Amino acid sequence: MAVKFPLKMADGTQVKTIKELREHFDLETVLANYKNGRLKKWLEMRGYTEEAKSISYLSDDQDNSIEKLCEKLCEILGVNCPAGEL
């Protein structure tokens, strides 16, 4: 059995649910966890299979734009894309 791990956000919160992720959302932290694979694994371990599947289809090279990648990540996770953070 795999151990469920929390995602640590910039404000120090250890998020364990997608609701907590949305409440303490930090684009830089989420993007880093996407790039190192932790975000997808975190979603899978908690049963957020649709979100994990959608994230697995993303690519850093998609439209050659980090802005597009961030917008898609925010859309998948159900958060507003923070203006000015890109």
pLDDT at 23: 95
Per-residue pLDDT band for 58 (boundaries 50, 70, 90) equals: confident
pLDDT average, residue stretch 56-66: 71
**Closest C-alpha to 21, from 72, 68, 11, 4:** 11
The model's pTM: 0.86
Measured distance CA(72)–CA(6) in Å, rounded: 22
pLDDT at 77 over 90: yes
